[in-house]
Amino acid sequence: MKLLFAIVIIAGTAIIGTRVTFRNRQLPMGFRNILLTGIEYLFLGVVLGKMGLNVIDSESLDLLQPFLLFGLSWIGFLFGLQFEFRLIKNLPRFYFSITAVKSVLTFLTVAIPLYYLLDHFISLPKSILLLASITLGSIASCTAQSALAIVSQNTKIKNRGMLELLRYISSVDGLFSLMFFTFALSIIPSEDAEAFSFLASAKLLLASVSMGIVPAIILISLSKTRFSQQEFLVFIIGIVMLCGGLAHQIHHSPLLSGLICGMVTANFCRYRVRALSTVIHSEKSIYIILLIFVGAGWQISIDYSLVLATVYFILRIFGKLFSTFAATQIFPAAYHVPKLIGMGLLSEGGLAIAIVLNFRLLYPAIADSLSTIIIISVILNELISPWLILKLLDQPEPAELPIS
């Protein structure tokens, strides 16, 4: 009975939430960005979960795990659909180079110090602590687009070139985040493994990639038949469910399988735009449900997690500022790029929450600490990032630099 009640509340919230706009112009930009990110649904999950009314208890979360797998795979599928290489290669190559350098340096800046901090505070196998620190580094390197969207829609931007660069970085750096996270899951030995094995890691990585390629081939084959919009939606739902289920069977990431499936579909299916519009239409409701799951399963305690959250927040800001400055110096643009351009890349958003959820599925022992770190960081970054972006983009663009 409790499970049925929980399902009704979650479904009802998702339906209502998709019809509520977050773009209230009367609110300060920071709070508007938090609402756009959907953090209020996370706290609704806290109220309904084990820290609140316990309507969604641990048993209910276990029984709802199939939908969690589906939701994570759906997020990955949507993200992958945006990578049509024929369009991406038309953009300046230095965009990708800057994004790559920025992502790698931010990842290293956060992951390395946090590994030693986790090892100091938490008594768990070093392989789990290493995986947790890599997960935090992976999340730190990604950027949400919500703050950029709010600022650009409500402000006249002077430096359009820099805005385009920020949009590109925030669209693509999530790919690097998932790559770091995926390689960590594949390479770091599990708790029951004796030591690292290159062959075992290669097999697991190949299998996890196949979990996305095979469903994509099935979807492309189905799309060659005549179908209605409703049938196409059923195709996509079934394929996304298959991605999540296959990934779960090999104890790997449904985010990755969905990402691979989406990328293959984007580049080899002629109905790529139709698939993208179909998935985007349902994105908000699924994301709301995932946020409720995060809140319901979260158990905060006043301990070392708050120290780790503070250190993570500071390291991420420093990593973003340093890495983006270094990247833009190595690969200079033909227009003015401020030294503090990293201020425009602090927003974290949905992918960060999705990676934490994925980690919770695989390694629940340390998941509460990671959830505390990321939730605090997301709230703080969504509050400050619109103001920092506004100050950054409000700077006048100097005269065009001479082309050498």
CB 290 within 8 A of CB 254: no
pLDDT (tens digit per residue) in 241-282: 999 999 988 888 999 999 999 999 999 998 888 888 888 877
pTM of the model: 0.89
- Of 59-68, 75-84, 140-149, 300-309, which gets the smallest average pLDDT? 300-309
pLDDT digits (tens, 9 = 90+) for 24-45: 555 666 656 666 677 888 888 9
Instruction: Pick 57 or 394 by higher pLDDT.
Output: 57
Provide the token pair at 322.
């340093």
Lowest mean pLDDT among 77-86, 154-163, 186-195, 362-371: 186-195
Cβ atoms 322, 109 nearer than 8 A: yes
Query: CA dihedral defined by 1, 240, 231, 85, rounded to 10 degrees?
Result: 150
pLDDT in tens, 333-343: 877 888 899 99
Tokens 């938490």, residue located: 122
Q: Picking from 64-78, 192-206, 261-275, 359-373, which range would have the lowest pLDDT averaged per residue?
A: 192-206
Residue 172: what residue type? V
pLDDT at res. 374: 92
Burial 206-215 (b: 16+ CB within 10 A, else e): ebbbebbebb
pLDDT for 195: 64
Tell me the pLDDT tens digit for each residue of 121-172: 888 888 889 999 999 999 999 998 888 877 777 677 777 778 888 999 998 9
Q: Cα dihedral angle (293, 295, 297, 300), rounded to 10 degrees? A: 170
Q: How confident is the model at residue 228 (pLDDT cuts 50, 70, 90)?
A: confident
Place of tokens 């663009």: 397
Name every residue whose Cβ is closer than 8 Å to that of residue 234 and which is 6 or more positions away in sequence.
none
Cα angle value 144/333/173 (rounded, 5°): 25
**pLDDT confidence of residue 216:** 95
- Write the DSSP symbol of residue 225: S
CA distance 389 to 168: 15
Cβ 373 vs Cβ 310: under 8 Å: no
List the single range of 18-22, 67-71, 386-390 with lowest mean pLDDT. 18-22
Let me know how long the chain is.
404
3-state helix, strand, coil in the chain (%, to 5): 75, 0, 25
- In this predicted structure, the answer to whether residue 240 has a pLDDT above a threshold of 60 is yes
Residue among 54, 43, 118 at smallest CA distance from 373:
118
CA 128/CA 130 separation, integer angstroms? 5
Say yes or no to pLDDT of 402 above 50: no
The residue behind tokens 């509050």 is 383
Predicted local distance difference test score (pLDDT) of residue 401: 44
Q: What is the reported pLDDT for 71? A: 92
Per-residue pLDDT, 124: 84
What percent of the chain has pLDDT above 70? 90
Chain segment 275-334, per-residue pLDDT in tens: 888 888 777 888 888 889 888 888 877 778 889 999 999 999 999 999 999 999 999 887
Confidence of residue 194 (pLDDT cuts 50, 70, 90): low
